[in-house]
Structure 1
Amino acid sequence: MKAKIVYASMTGNDEDMADILEEDLLDYGFEVDSSDVTFSDASDYLDSDLCIFITYTYGEGKMTDEIADFYDQLKTIDLTGKYFAVMGSGDKTYGEHFCENVFDFEKAFKELGASEITAPVTIENAPDDEAIDKIDTAAKEMADKLNG
């Protein structure tokens, strides 16, 4: 199984999430390719079975330019037959906007025909032990569903 992880990280928190998930998926036998959103194209997902996007939500949910550009690219491809997962970080002081971009991408993947393999993983700020457990659990769920 091939997994493609694209992450957007301003402070390094989401890159850390991507690294944790990549290590988990490799342990489960996945072939994993990870890249920063600024060096990725949404069409990169077409060569993978599992499409993962990890993003931060800045402030009140407005996507930064690099995230918005990738989102616009994503909306142009057909992901029917693919699986997806979304993860990300945010700041709970923004209330209803906490991790809003994660849910924007979840909706987009569904609209593009992809099947959600695990519930979105959202964390506040940097991944602590509880957040790492959430990522590990999501990775196991992905492996269980895709590796039989």
Structure 2
Amino acid sequence: MNCIIVYTSMTGNTEEMAMKISQGLYESNIHVVVKDSFLTSPEELLNYDGIILGSYTWNDGDLPDEFIDFYEEMCKLDLSGKKTATFGSGDSTYTDFCRAVDILKERFQELGAVNILPGLKIEDTPLDVEIDQCREFGKKFAEGLMN
């Protein structure tokens, strides 16, 4: 089984989440590739059994500019049956806390993918307990991927 994690990060928070999620996958014997959204194309997603997308939320509930092209180009894909999940960091002072996580989940659903976990949302910088949550998220995704 293999999995790709594609993320975008401005401050490093979402990148750190991606790395900790990948550790959970790796510890569960899943081959995992982690890439910044600028360094991959949506078509690459088709080569993986599992797909996890992560993004911080910009402004009051938007995807950041760095993820928009990737997000829009995903429309060309048929992800029927692909197992997926989403994660991200955000600021709860905004009305739509971590809305980017939900936007990405909705896109997966539009493309026929199966979301196997609720989106993981972390406030700002992941602390020790949230780092453990990220690693567990990866392990739970691995379990769902193998079933």
Quote the offset at 1:64 in angstroms: 2.5
Q: Distance in 2 between matches of 1:18 and 1:137?
A: 12
Quote the offset at 1:74 in angstroms: 1.2
Correspondence 1:29-108 to 2 at 5 A:
29-95=29-95, 97-108=96-107
- Name the structure, 1 or 2, with higher relative contact order (CA <8 Å, separation 6+): 2
Deviates more, 1:5-14 or 1:35-44: 35-44
In structure 2, runs of 5+ residues without a counterpart are: none
Quote the offset at 1:44 in angstroms: 1.2
Output the aligned Cα RMSD: 1.2
Q: Structure 2: which amino acid aligns with 1:111?
A: E
Give the total of aligned pairs: 147
In structure 1, runs of 5+ residues without a counterpart are: none
> TM-score normalised to the size of structure 1?
0.94
Q: Structure 2: which amino acid aligns with 1:117?
A: I
Quote the offset at 1:48 in angstroms: 0.3
Moved beyond 4 Å, runs of 4+? none
Q: Does 1:25 align with 2:41?
A: no
- The answer for the alignment partner of 1:111 in structure 2 is 110
Quote the sequence identity (%). 37
Quote the offset at 1:130 in angstroms: 2.5
> TM-score normalised to the size of structure 2?
0.94
